[in-house]
Chains A and B, each alone.
Chain A
Amino acid sequence: MQAERRKSMAERRPSTLNRSSFSAERTGSAQVVPHLAGIEDPLPNSTPEKVDVVLVGTGLVESILAAALSWQGSSVLQIDANSYYGDTSATLTIDQLNQWVQEVNRGQSKCYDNAKLHISGLMGRGSYKSRDFGIDLSPKILFAKSDLLSILLKSRVHQYLEFQSLSSFHTYENDSFERLTNTKQEIFTNPSLPLMTKRNLMKFIKFVLDWTNQPEIWDAYKDKPVASFLVEKFKLERAQVYELIFSIGLCYNIDVKTPEALQRIRRYLTSFDVYGPFPVLYSKYGGPGELSQGFCRSAAVAGATYKLNESMISYNPDSRIAVFSDGSKVSVTEKVVIAPTQCPKNSGNVPEQKYEVQRLTCVVDKTCSEWFTEGENAAVVVFPPDSLKSGNRQAVQVLIMGSGSDVCPAGTSVWYLSTTESGVRGEMDLDAALGALEESIMRESSADPENDQGILEVDNQGHMTLNSVKLGQSFKEHSQREKLQVLVKLYFKQFTSTPPFEVVDPSIFDVDGAPNGKLIPGASDNGVIYTALPSAEISYDEAITAARLLFQKIVGSDDDFFDLDFEDQDDDVQMDESAVIDDDDVEKMNMNLGSEMSVEPVEFAGEMEI
């Protein structure tokens, strides 16, 4: 049964309607949000008695949902049991992290397990303050062409945030880091690639940009691993296959099915050059935690009520009354949506969280600028399966954030390692990857004294030698001179109901109370909808999908999901609205490729047909 379509913000607030004469000029169905929307009415100083939707938890999905519902016209109360915004997506100070670990280990939630935190004595000696750090519980990167990016623009939430670029993707192979050959830009200038390989790669790239329209090419492989597809259909070598699957596609293991992998490879390629020569962005000061705050603020501007340090005690699906920890009650006209981490006591309906994500997060006293592209402050390092001493079956993905991203003080950096491997193996893989990172950074930074001598070095007998320990070179022969100082080391296991590679399982939103529609006698959470915890996915791609599905479930349709258009125009820059991929873009990508190919006409004459 679907709920009726609700009235929008503009329809529900007739006082603002007469201001929107400008709206007549606009085309399409977008809601024009009037001048001063959200600040015209003084807000009461008490919890509302009646709301349309109660959201428990301020994680990214819940916060996006809060903003979408509020601008659509629903009245929203969003609470969080913590003293900060973000819940499962929070960006935490060291003190907050400490508290969080203690809470996890008190065993109250079934969402996290085995949290271990080590804080170095250096932290306590006054050189660093807790607030100098912003540690993400589930760090993410933002593809330049993605649903979330277009929602950030549409909602104007981007105005609360600052974004920086990330173009360095390293793959760890044979004990060394290989900087990713950014297919579109560098394939032709990369001297290490044989001509045949270049040609095959370019063929593949042209295909993958438009892969959904060419099922005849991959149909036979739709249930097979992509590796066999790449080798058999495009004659790609192992090195390219690994780069495509693990660095460009950011997949977790070699068994990934062809369509999933093609989608992920295309995501990277179409994101390249949207804002410049890089495929992804990240927000400064912290990732999903910052975005959550931005969407919550946006929801508040549209009229949502916020309460931190507040949890839900129970919800009664018959009376539709929700009771909170401060003793207040609210009557709910539509739905109660709860993050599994913030389920009420005596809950009986929290969906099973059967997939593991293991995370190891370290703050180290190295800038790690060796790994960044010049002018940037972050990098992605991927350890493909079987590249680590632990014999890892799943990839370990690492996001490195330097102090220029303002998540840590100058001279330090944050390493976020994660894997979908479960159990003890996961922890061993993370430790092995940490060891490899440590070995690499100590080698590079000890070979690069304060005043960087570049790749030339002079030894004590006056011999000039090429520095053989730069990034991308083997360091087997190198002996480690000093030990890396780890200021903070956090290990934890997180559970989620979202399987790897899938965005979100919509069926978990259909629960509507107990399975089979039966109420569990005495449960405090009958009739509520539970959201999913963040998955292992390193991009934001799941967040918008999950929020949109929930929105549809509550409102009855997703037509009004951020369907808004603000009346003002910023006077400085014209807004480029669409970051959604369309056919034109594919066309342009192809043209770009075509123009690059003309640089090497001999190689490619007549070779573009597949």
Chain B
Amino acid sequence: MNSPVTSIKLVLLGEAAVGKSSIVLRFVSNDFSENKEPTIGAAFLTQRVNMGDHTIKFEIWDTAGQERFASLAPMYYRNAQAALVVYDVTKPQSFIKARHWVKELHEQASKDIVIALVGNKLDMIEAGAERKVAREEAENLAQEENLLFFETSAKTGDNVNEVFLGIGQKIPLKTAQNQAQNGGRGSSGLRVNDDSRVDLRSGNQSTSAGGCNC
């Protein structure tokens, strides 16, 4: 199957220890959809999701801990087309922080960014812990801010794949494929193939232009 592949930069945000990395690990290392092995690099994690007639390649940027002391760089938000804002359903403080991150995304990221609000650690409630963030409260925030909303358990895998599928469905693919980068540095556009872009991996001495073909 040679369906067209669209690369989507997805960033993770949320208070420390709400399970941001766990959600991603569950997503990329589970046998998910018809995908082959996930590719995990030092730069970011990638996972392909088959969406029927096309494939989305998520490039997932973990905060790498740089959010702990409010030290995320502008580079982190730039050209992000999707974001997960994660909180812990048993920690009200983490939900307050989630509001902060949504605001931050509206200020720093592209206008068209698709944001999913994710209440994680659902399994803890099932195990007897007290829910501290009401579903309705989160739903209200999602509605006000036009966010996708999911409650998940990275531990059991419950609802995790749905988050990414939901994002995949909401990403405007036509624009992602065709629209050139025209947003400027602040309101960054989309990471599409750009003719003026030089791929540093393509450097080659032996087949360089002007070389002899003999």
Contacts and interface: CB of A to CB of B under 8 A. Distances in A.
Asked whether A and B interact, the reply is yes
Given A149-B200, A294-B75, A576-B203, A375 B43 contact: no
A584 B206 CA distance: 10
17 contacts: A38-B42, A84-B74, A132-B186, A134-B185, A153-B200, A155-B42, A164-B196, A273-B209, A277-B209, A296-B73, A297-B64, A300-B66, A301-B42, A403-B184, A573-B202, A576-B203, A584-B205
Interface in A133-178: 133-134, 144, 149, 152-153, 155-160, 162-165
Interface stretch (A10-18, A259-267, A390-398, A585-593): A585-593
A164 B68 CA distance: 33
A568 B38 CA distance: 9
B17 A45 contact: yes
A544 to B, nearest CB: 15
A595 B211 contact: yes
Interface string A280-307: 0100110000100110111011100111
Interface string B166-182: 00000000000000010
A84 B206 CA distance: 41
Contacts of A38: 42, 64
Interface string A407-435: 10110000000000000000000000000
Interface string A179-207: 00000110000000000000000000000
B196 to A, nearest CB: 5
Contacts of B209: 273, 276-277
A596 B210 contact: yes
Nearest to B212: A595
Interface of A: 33, 35-39, 42-43, 45, 84-85, 129, 131-134, 144, 149, 152-153, 155-160, 162-165, 184-185, 273-277, 281, 284-285, 290, 293-294, 296-298, 300-302, 305-310, 375-377, 403-404, 406-407, 409-410, 566, 568-571, 573-576, 579, 584-585, 588, 591-592, 594-596
Contact of B41 (A133, A410, A568, A579): A568
A159 B196 contact: no
Contacts of B68: 43, 45, 305-306
B185 A132 contact: yes
The interface centre, meaning the residue of A302, A576, A585 with most chain B CB atoms within 10 A of its CB, is A576
Report the 9 A-B pairs with minimum CB-CB distance, sorted nearest first.
A300-B64, A595-B212, A159-B43, A293-B73, A131-B186, A43-B65, A306-B71, A307-B69, A293-B75
A153 B197 CA distance: 16
A579 B203 contact: yes
B65 A306 contact: yes
B25 interface: yes
Contacts of A293: 73-75
B202 A33 contact: no
Nearest to B44: A159
Nearest to A577: B201
A591 B208 CA distance: 12
A415 to B, nearest CB: 18
B201 A573 contact: yes
Given A43-B16, A85-B73, A375 B195 contact: yes
Interface in B120-159: none
Contact of A45 (B16, B43, B211): B16
A163 B210 contact: no
Given A131-B186, A132-B185, A162-B194, A37 B210 contact: no
Contacts of B71: 85, 306-308
B61 to A, nearest CB: 9
A503 B208 CA distance: 30
B51 interface: no
Contacts of B2: none
A284 B181 CA distance: 12
A456 B210 CA distance: 32
Contact of A290 (B43, B75, B200): B75
B62 interface: yes
B25 A39 contact: yes
A36 B46 CA distance: 12
Given A132-B185, A144-B203, A579-B203, A163 B197 contact: yes
Given A33-B42, A134-B185, A275 B198 contact: yes
Given A297-B75, A310-B69, A275 B203 contact: yes
Contacts of A36: 25, 40
Contacts of A294: 75
A564 B214 CA distance: 36
Contacts of A45: 16-17, 68
B39 A571 contact: yes
Nearest to A375: B196
Contacts of B40: 35-36, 568
A185 B71 CA distance: 46
Contacts of B16: 42-43, 45
Contacts of A305: 65, 68-69
B184 A164 contact: no
A462 to B, nearest CB: 40
A37 B200 CA distance: 23
Given A37-B42, A159-B43, A404-B196, A297 B73 contact: yes
Nearest to B195: A375
A285 B186 CA distance: 10
A163 B200 contact: yes
A305 B63 CA distance: 12
B58 to A, nearest CB: 13
Contact of B205 (A33, A160, A588): A588
A275 B201 CA distance: 9
A273 B210 contact: yes
B53 interface: no
Contacts of A594: 212
Given A85-B73, A155-B42, A570-B41, 17 more contacts: A33-B42, A43-B65, A45-B16, A144-B203, A157-B43, A158-B200, A163-B197, A274-B205, A276-B209, A277-B210, A293-B75, A308-B69, A308-B71, A568-B40, A570-B201, A576-B203, A592-B208
